[in-house]
Amino acid sequence: MTAEEFLRAYAGESNHVEFKQGVSEARIARAVAAFSNTDGGVVLVGVGPDGRAVGVNVDGEALARLHRVVASVHDGGRYEVGVVSVGDVDIAVLSVARREQGFAQTAEGLVVVRREAMNVTLMGAQLAEFVTGHALARFEATATGLTVEQADPALVDDVASRFGWSTDIGDRMVEHGLATGTGARGALTVAGVLYLVAEPERVLGKSYIEVFRYRDDATMVEDKRYRITGPLPVQVAGATSRVTDEIGSELAVVGLRRYEMERIPLAVLREAVANAVAHRVYEDNRRPVTIEIRPSRVLVRSPGPLPEPVTVANLREQNAARNLAVIDALRRYRLAEDAGRGIDLMQDVMAEQLLDAPVFDADSTSVSVSLPMNSAVAPFERAWIGEIENRGALKPRDRILLVHAARGEVLTNTVARELLGADSTHARGALQRLRDAGFLSQSGERAGARYVLAPSIAPPPGLRLSSATLRQDVLTLARSEPLTNRLLRERFALDRVEALKLLNDLVDAGDLVRVGERRGARYLPSDDR
């Protein structure tokens, strides 16, 4: 894109575009607030006042700084940060959408709007009129038809214990958004009903969780359905337990030891469910939170869009709470992370366990997170990493390097950068950490450095089991679930030909019986026939 094309594309309506030669945090934050409160707009960082593209640093830290600037604005609109090249320089593009509900303020508490080509701070009567017209009403604080004295006494005691209340419990409930008014005749709020009533759905409609189990990844007809009701802590714990029971665990064999590996880490699953009930739109009382269990993934879907200014693209950099009282109480039960930590936890724990990353999606009607149960790293490799960690601490991001070294790969700085998604400095640091800990051996220096698995660190020993032990372990596995060629390869690190030969040998010996043909073949213990 040439400079002329760039300016025509972004500066066609000057009221909605601001040029910033550098990253002036206060001025950019002011523009973000003004655009959020008016009709949206674009901030171009790296463009002089005369419209000349001068360029700006657009490395990872510089873009993270822009995210922090937006985060300093209270209740800003949804936004995106991008980079475009104009001639031989780079420009950072910060696009801000108009806030649909409520209004934005700068870190100093100022309400700024866009008028013509200027950002104007509202004061006096204009400020009062704007605030009144844009005030955000939180549905969770809405009074319901139930009085405080209709709350379940046992649940009231439980909530009081979690919050540490001992006296004036009615007043404390009002302070924390669970009730309105005073005394026993005060009303429970929507948030209060979710914690203090045994069956919230009787008051709030489909304020529960439905769990669906499917036999394959494509079918639309479930073979099992569960409804998880009750106060929110009961729902989160119950749904997490139900899904964990359904998906089971992975059996991994390393040497002569067997490991039960979580298919989805419990902490990740619980946080996904807690997020869904905490951030859902409770005004939508015709749709519950839903959980789909499929062979390759668990999908958790919550009614309603993401709260502003959060988007799928900035989930890790931004956080916003639609239901403050609901989330506060859920944290008291230790069922939700602190603000801004939930998404980090899901992504980080999946990465630490060498599992595929969660996939987030959102539109105007719902938000979902898909938790994969497949991974490029086999269960026995994950178990092996666990054994290796007993010899010395591994940083979570270093684990994938060790897995590839165990597969016989020669690691270089270039390979490490690709595996880690990191720059050269961080990749070199990871390789040298593993070398210094005795996990890798280095040959060559500087750009010619090569790293392989250290001789003292044995690779995953799935292929080194004795024939008799391997046959016995396979028969043990067959008694717990139907065997397939794929399952055998994943559990014992065999290739397709080796797995097929072993299965055929066991069939010929009369230990297993084959049912079906080709890809549909299953192998059962002969004593089950």
Q: Domains of the chain, with CATH numbers?
A: 3-134 (3.30.950.30), 139-198 (no CATH), 209-316+358-372 (3.30.565.60), 379-453 (1.10.10.10), 465-528 (1.10.10.10)
Grouping H, G, I as helix, E, B as strand and the rest as coil, residue 388 is helix
User: Is 14's pLDDT higher than 50?
Assistant: no
Pick the closest to residue 68 from 118, 26, 121, 21 (CA basis).
26
Return the pLDDT at 438. Answer: 86
Tokens representing 250? Answer: 């992975």
- Is the pLDDT reported for residue 257 higher than 80? no
> Rounded mean pLDDT of the chain?
86
Peptide linkage before 309 cis (omega within 30 of 0): yes
Neighbouring CB atoms inside 10 A of 425's CB total 10
**pTM for the complete prediction?**
0.69
383 φ, ψ (degrees, to nearest 5) = -65, -40
Element (H, E) at 82: strand 79-86
pLDDT of 443 strictly over 50: yes
Of the two residues 460 and 314, the one the predictor is more confident about is 314
Task: Give me the mean pLDDT over the 63-72 stretch.
Answer: 89
Joined together, the tokens standing for residue 186 give 């005060």
Percentage with pLDDT > 70 across the chain: 90
Residue 166 reports pLDDT greater than 70: yes
Exposed, middle or buried: residue 510 (CB in 10 Å: 0-12, 13-18, 19+)? exposed
Per-residue exposure over 73-85, b if at least 16 CB sit within 10 Å of its own CB, e if not: bbbbbbbebeebe
Average pLDDT value for residue range 206-223: 92
Q: Is 463 a residue whose pLDDT tops 70? A: no
- In this predicted structure, the answer to whether residue 221 has a pLDDT above a threshold of 80 is yes
Residue 102 falls in which region: left (phi positive, over 0), alpha (psi -120 to 50) or beta: left
SS3 category, 271: helix
Highest mean pLDDT among 196-210, 349-363, 494-508: 196-210
The pLDDT-based confidence of 494 (bands split at 50, 70, 90) is low
User: Tens digits of per-residue pLDDT, 368-389?
Assistant: 999 999 887 888 788 888 777 7
Q: What is the pLDDT of residue 212?
A: 97
pLDDT (average), residues 304-312: 87
pLDDT for position 391? 65
HSE at residue 255, side-chain half, CA atoms within 13 A, is 8
Six-digit token string for 121: 């701070």
Query: Which of 227, 246, 237, 322 lies closest to 274, judged by CA?
Result: 237
Three-state SS string over 455-486 comes to: CCCCCCHHHHCCHHHHHHHHHHHHCCCCECHH
Q: Which residues contact 344 (CB under 8 A, 6 or more apart)?
A: 316, 337
| Residue 284: pLDDT over 70 | yes
User: How far is residue 396's CA from residue 351's CA, in Å, rounded to a whole number?
Assistant: 7
Q: Residue 462: its pLDDT value, please?
A: 44
Q: Side chain identity at 506, as an amino acid letter?
A: L
d(CA 489, CA 271): 32
Residue 125 exposure: Cα atoms within 13 Å on the Cβ side: 0
User: Among 27-41, 437-451, 467-481, which is the least confidently predicted range?
Assistant: 467-481
Residues 94-121 have pLDDT tens digits of 999 888 767 889 988 888 999 888 888 9
- The predicted structure's pLDDT at residue 464: 46
> Token pair for residue 278?
């905490």
Q: Is the pLDDT of residue 1 over 60?
A: no
Rounded mean pLDDT, 467-486 = 81
Structure tokens at 262: 């979580």
In this prediction, residue 325 carries a pLDDT of 94
SS (H, E, C) 318-380: CCCCCCHHHHHHHHHCCCCCCCCCHHHHHHHHHHHCCCCCCEEEECCCEEEEEEECCCCCCHH
